[in-house]
Structure 1
């Protein structure tokens, strides 16, 4: 039995299934009546729009299955053969709409808690299911993460914004309309700059700035779970989960740049703690608007289109609900190629909404494109305007965390950490696991422990990154199953790196110290080194030369490969053998390599 109170609780085993009956308005009221009458049965429905939310794991499995069944897509085959020569004639234009779930405790217009993995229909209020007489109430705290996102994307915050009703009738929208910000969004006129290391197309050069028309708040719809062949179950937990929609200007002309844009916006939203999850977990979805036009040729007045102030564009189509960066790139390529094929064969591009399935070779028509007039936007009469004070905006700007790009720049600064952009981006990407904080703690401790001269010689920033990103990562993943800063604390790692830097222990000994600590040895690092006689007792140059000579004489085939075939990588095999056969903890790899090169007479 349902209890009609705020925070409506529905039995865990219950899923709501609904079917529009007798036209649009009747369909909306039928959905409500199903709740009122407590009808807990699955109804059969024919799905016409194609906008079913499929679990991400299932999408990946479907993609792999289709790739095995059909092989590479057309776009992949074209890419392997080189650039499509038709692109010299036709120009692609892309605009993106990104829908991201905000990280909030409450829903946008009700006191029900937001939830991701809760039991179906366990967090639903009367407003969420459009119970007659219930009214939405804007939850002001949901605005904070939205503002952080907008500021990070360089938007102008609007002092006054308002909510509108976007009317459409479908089973996942019980009210028959979605509450959004169409006329007066809370943020406008932003921008995002992408660089070559972000993965943009080479044609875009070292950087490209993409305009952001606006960011608006809106409510999410119910989650539709498909049960083939014709049953669709509805989970209303997601109804009214706060979303932001980030709308870019059509400044993108390459599929890889579009994917890079979505990836970077997701990274920024995550770094601001503005969103619950990324594309991989289903917390962010992208729609792309795609059009092509002939280069250096003006379209006739009756054919030229204007899209957010950019004129002369071809007719655009929209591809809905893309749930991975690869899907964004592949869907754009497929739709671009389809439109070029149509135009070159004398056809006309229709304004329509299309769908994309992972692993597909082409987009699929879902429905004719609904224009603004079809949605009958109108100001929501139940909600007041939202007024944002300057003090709140100033406070958020002052307390905003660094963006991923800013963090990467700090890590790459030669006067700071001196990392490569590759390592910097990898550390920033792992920030959600607290790996970046851990790395910075290690560097800070090393700088306190080593002299200025030792720091300059050892380049502590790079040494720490190598341990955190490579050695320690693989060790901890093997032992713990996932990253854990508590397994090897920053101080413990520092205590291992310092004697290694001073050549008081070998790298092999450092690895054995890590193994002992992971196995539960509670002693301090210096105690283990002292009590187990692990301190390095250096060999003489003569000792290294004798060991190298013995190895070289015993392996003439490998010597021939190095000296005649110039396979210098095999010197590493000799180094490994020296470390294996020598006294444990006494062989230094660098000195062993120098001795071997001397004996082999190679540079």
Structure 2
């Protein structure tokens, strides 16, 4: 159970959260037309006659969009409805030329499922929790109104009109901003693993409608508000934080919460009223007469199931149980599909899993953060990383030398073997050369040698450091340790 509570003047309040996530389906064409779906295209350059609602134009269902939605449903262990139907949601708006949206109200494609969010004590999630998903239905997106292009007119871009969306509706199972943030991150990760949505919230391909109400712990649900089109995990959490506190303030002042649609202002971190839902719109839903009911075969569903990749929870468990990777490292490495794919390519090139995971978590992530790059833009490839780790494992490079080589790889893109060869960075285990350096170090620090022999054993690290420094970091640390012990105890 979440321990998140809002402390009001009259006692504690609990927040109740449900999310409706709209995820754009990855497909080359729209849900009911052959128009393209590429992001960033010139306005109104991806609009078919169907999208523009020209007379006599009939929708033709894109089977790839259905396949992707079914695969998404299977990834959250949801019921796949063998029979579903498209309905018309009737309303007039300038970005919807048909005067209706084709959606699925009564008979959605995907039924109930669950998404597991992991425990995170620091974030206030004391234990793992299953968040219920009520349904996933497929619908077409509307176009976009642009109000900043002309002083007196609004322009309409219909490029998004007809793009396929999955609306993923959670149950009101979340009880804190942290749980909601974890849910959105996990859902986005699942969509990216499956390949059904790219999850790029900043581009609008995934956005959330945030439903929030408050109540005294254990009481019935309160009246909820819905904040539309929130486009980042951070903003989802900020929306909940502000809206819950606002509702508590209203109730404690003796007021009532109005069921309404609100908007989040990222500049102020607050929500504001957009329209009341006191008088619910009558959308006059009815079955779309131009589309037959959708009937799925068992063969199609099993093909969708067989096409699923290893999903993050299963991958995390395998990393821990079979590869011996720590739970924390496994969490991070499996959080995003792209990261997991990069890491597994390192293993495919022969790297040892524990060594590779530790190196990725420390050296690689540190470098990428410093450079402001993501894993997709890493200057070092997985085969190069595996080659570097192999040089450490076989004793060619010490840990110190491997850091030097890695920095050069980041700058030049050269392979580690080439760098080692050209710059003479190979680690040495030449006992004669190391003994000579140790003799000089001990001779120049006779006072510290005497202190060491009198029991000040912490000085051993000083002698190791001086020896490594004198040899430019190229001496084998294990050999240095052995020879130093022998020399100091002689």
TM over 0.5: yes
In the alignment, what sits opposite 1:286?
208
Task: Supply the distance in 1 between the matched residues of 2:462 and 2:201 (Cα, whole angstroms).
Answer: 43
In the alignment, what sits opposite 2:181?
259
SS at match of 2:71: helix
Task: Supply the distance in 2 between the matched residues of 1:551 and 1:230 (Cα, whole angstroms).
Answer: 83
Deviation of 1:593 after TM superposition, in Å, equals 12
Task: Supply the distance in 2 between the matched residues of 1:358 and 1:492 (Cα, whole angstroms).
Answer: 42
What do you get for the CA RMSD once the two structures are aligned? 3.9
Q: Does 1:377 align with 2:377?
A: no
Deviation of 1:592 after TM superposition, in Å, equals 6.5
Deviations 1:102-148 (A, max 9, x none): 00111011111112111111110112122233222222222111111
Task: Supply the distance in 2 between the matched residues of 1:528 and 1:577 (Cα, whole angstroms).
Answer: 23
In the alignment, what sits opposite 2:96?
173
In the alignment, what sits opposite 1:186?
109
C-alpha contact (below 8 Å) 2:30/2:62 kept by paired residues:
yes
Q: Does 1:423 align with 2:423?
A: no
Unaligned runs of 5+ in 1: 1-78, 298-311, 448-459, 555-562
In the alignment, what sits opposite 1:143?
66
In the alignment, what sits opposite 2:452?
none
Q: Which moved more, 1:231-240 or 1:331-340?
A: 231-240
Q: Which residue among 526, 532, 536 is the counterpart of 2:428? A: 536
In the alignment, what sits opposite 2:75?
152
Decide whether aligned partners of structure 1 residues 520 and 343 sit closer, same or farther in structure 2, where only a CA change above 3 A counts: closer
SS at match of 1:187: coil
Deviation of 1:410 after TM superposition, in Å, equals 1.6
Task: Supply the distance in 2 between the matched residues of 1:385 and 1:201 (Cα, whole angstroms).
Answer: 45
Task: Supply the distance in 2 between the matched residues of 1:590 and 1:231 (Cα, whole angstroms).
Answer: 78
Number of aligned pairs? Answer: 474
C-alpha contact (below 8 Å) 2:5/2:13 kept by paired residues:
no
Task: Supply the distance in 2 between the matched residues of 1:407 and 1:226 (Cα, whole angstroms).
Answer: 46
In the alignment, what sits opposite 2:475?
586
Task: Supply the distance in 2 between the matched residues of 1:119 and 1:572 (Cα, whole angstroms).
Answer: 64
Decide whether aligned partners of structure 1 residues 339 and 583 sit closer, same or farther in structure 2, where only a CA change above 3 A counts: closer
C-alpha contact (below 8 Å) 1:578/1:592 kept by paired residues:
no
Give 1:188-227 correspondences, 5 Å limit: 188-197=111-120, 201-202=124-125, 205-227=126-148
SS at match of 2:261: strand
Task: Supply the distance in 1 between the matched residues of 2:239 and 2:60 (Cα, whole angstroms).
Answer: 38
C-alpha contact (below 8 Å) 2:401/2:425 kept by paired residues:
no
In the alignment, what sits opposite 1:270?
192
In the alignment, what sits opposite 1:500?
392
In the alignment, what sits opposite 2:161?
239
Task: Supply the distance in 1 between the matched residues of 2:415 and 2:223 (Cα, whole angstroms).
Answer: 70
C-alpha contact (below 8 Å) 2:379/2:413 kept by paired residues:
no
In the alignment, what sits opposite 2:359?
467
Q: Does 1:386 align with 2:294?
A: yes
Deviation of 1:261 after TM superposition, in Å, equals 0.8
Task: Supply the distance in 1 between the matched residues of 2:405 and 2:158 (Cα, whole angstroms).
Answer: 53
Task: Supply the distance in 2 between the matched residues of 1:545 and 1:418 (Cα, whole angstroms).
Answer: 42
C-alpha contact (below 8 Å) 1:91/1:292 kept by paired residues:
yes
Query: What is the TM-score with the length of structure 2 in the denominator?
Result: 0.84
SS at match of 1:175: coil
Give 1:331-370 correspondences, 5 Å limit: 331-369=239-277
Task: Supply the distance in 1 between the matched residues of 2:269 and 2:380 (Cα, whole angstroms).
Answer: 47
Task: Supply the distance in 1 between the matched residues of 2:199 and 2:36 (Cα, whole angstroms).
Answer: 17
Deviation of 1:480 after TM superposition, in Å, equals 11
Task: Supply the distance in 1 between the matched residues of 2:446 and 2:179 (Cα, whole angstroms).
Answer: 52
SS at match of 2:60: coil
In the alignment, what sits opposite 2:453?
none
Deviations 1:509-546 (A, max 9, x none): 33444466667697883995599482412556895586
SS at match of 1:363: strand
Decide whether aligned partners of structure 1 residues 501 and 215 sit closer, same or farther in structure 2, where only a CA change above 3 A counts: same
Q: Which moved more, 1:185-194 or 1:169-178?
A: 169-178
Q: Does 1:248 align with 2:140?
A: no
Task: Supply the distance in 2 between the matched residues of 1:199 and 1:178 (Cα, whole angstroms).
Answer: 43
C-alpha contact (below 8 Å) 2:259/2:276 kept by paired residues:
yes
Task: Supply the distance in 1 between the matched residues of 2:478 and 2:206 (Cα, whole angstroms).
Answer: 48
C-alpha contact (below 8 Å) 1:101/1:275 kept by paired residues:
yes
Task: Supply the distance in 2 between the matched residues of 1:339 and 1:480 (Cα, whole angstroms).
Answer: 39
C-alpha contact (below 8 Å) 1:334/1:361 kept by paired residues:
yes
C-alpha contact (below 8 Å) 2:85/2:107 kept by paired residues:
yes
Task: Supply the distance in 2 between the matched residues of 1:571 and 1:358 (Cα, whole angstroms).
Answer: 56
Task: Supply the distance in 1 between the matched residues of 2:31 and 2:362 (Cα, whole angstroms).
Answer: 42
Unaligned runs of 5+ in 2: 449-455
Task: Supply the distance in 2 between the matched residues of 1:514 and 1:221 (Cα, whole angstroms).
Answer: 48
Task: Supply the distance in 2 between the matched residues of 1:575 and 1:231 (Cα, whole angstroms).
Answer: 75
In the alignment, what sits opposite 1:67?
none
Deviations 1:232-271 (A, max 9, x none): 3221110010000000111111121011111111110111
Give 1:483-498 correspondences, 5 Å limit: 483=375, 488=380, 490-498=382-390
SS at match of 2:112: strand
Decide whether aligned partners of structure 1 residues 545 and 323 sit closer, same or farther in structure 2, where only a CA change above 3 A counts: farther
